[in-house]
Amino acid sequence: MLELLKNFEDTKSMAFLKGKGMRLIVYFTMWLGSVVLFPLGGVFGEIAAPAQTPMPVKNLPDIVLGDAHAPLTITMYFAPTCNHCADYEQTILPEIRKDFIESGKVRFIMRLLPFHRLDYTVAKLIWSRGEDKIFENIQLFLSHQKDWLEPALEEEKERKKQLKEKIAELCEEMGKNSQELMQDLFMDFGDEDAFLKLFALKNGFSLTAIHKATEENPPFEEALTANHLQASKDFGKSLEFVPAFLLNNVKQEGWVRPKQIRKALKKIS
C-alpha cells in the first residue's frame, strides 16, 4: 500500500481530471483490481485517505510549537499538497501563534499525513535542513503551492509551457543553460515533480538534498505513512480529509479557530 500511495511509476495509467472545483488523480492499479481516487489539494477538493493497512508503529517526531506544559494542545493533521491546509497556515495559525502559543496557553502540533508522492518528496525536503528549520520549511511550501503544485496540475500543453518558462527564469538567475539545469536536477518534461525541484533549488535547497528527496528512503517513508495509523486511532476511523484537528486529544468538527480556543481555555481555567 505504501507503494500505491507514493509511486506514480507503479500505476498502469494516471490522468489528471478537472471539474466542479476538484482535480483528481486517478490511479488504475493492479492492487485488488481496484481504482483508487485521491482528490489532490484543497483548491481542487479535500484530500481523501487511502484504505487502512498495517503500518509501522514508529512515527516521525511531531512538529511542535509552544510550551509542552500549555493547558491546551491542538493537533493539526496536514498535507503539503492540501490547499485548505495552506489557507489555515496562512490565515488562522498566525493569530493563534501570536495570541495563544507565544503566551504559553497553547501547544500546537503539526502532523504530516501523506497522500501522494509529492507529499513524501516535500516531507524529505522539509526535514533535510534540520529540526530547527522544519516549521520554516513547512511555511515555505504551503505558502507557495502556486509555484510548485498548481502548475503540475495543468493540462500537458500548459504544463510544459509553464515549465519551460520557469526553467528559463531560473537559468537566467543561475547563469546556466536549460540542458545543464535539467541534467543537474535529473529532470525531464515528463517529471511530475519538476516544478517542485525547480522551486526547491530556487529557494536554497542543495542539489544533494533535492536528489535525496526524490530517492526512495523506506524507513522515512514508512514512518510518515504510519501517521495514517495514528490518525485512525485519533479519529476512530481512517481520516478522509485534511486539515483535521484534535483539541486536547478530542476530535473537532471543522477548523480550530481563535474563538473556539478562548472558550476552551475559559472552561479549563
For residues 145 and 218, membership in a common domain is answered with yes
**Could you tell me how far CA 182 lies from the centroid of its own chain?**
24
Is the Cβ–Cβ distance between 211 and 183 less than 8 Å? no
118 and 245 belong to one structural domain:
yes
Bond preceding residue 243 cis, omega within 30 of 0: yes
Sheet holding 250-251, edge to edge: 63-65, 106-112, 72-78, 244-247, 250-251
> In terms of residue numbers, what domain contains 70?
63-268
Q: Are residues 69 and 173 in the same domain?
A: yes
In a domain, 108, yes or no: yes
For the entire predicted model, the pTM comes to 0.78
Same domain for 96 and 195, yes or no, is yes
Is there a domain that residue 248 lies in? Answer: yes
Task: Tell me: do 37 and 155 sit in the same domain.
Answer: no
Question: Which residue do the cell numbers 495559525 mark?
Answer: 93
Pair 72, 25 in one domain: no
Residue-by-residue pLDDT tens, the chain, 269 positions: 344 334 433 332 333 333 323 333 333 222 223 333 334 433 333 444 444 434 334 678 889 999 999 999 999 999 999 999 999 999 999 999 999 999 999 999 999 999 989 999 999 999 999 888 999 999 999 999 999 999 999 999 999 999 999 999 999 999 999 999 999 999 988 888 999 999 999 999 999 999 999 999 999 999 998 999 999 999 999 898 899 999 999 999 999 999 999 999 999 87
Same domain assignment for residues 96 and 23: no
* Domain containing residue 208: CATH number: 3.40.30.10
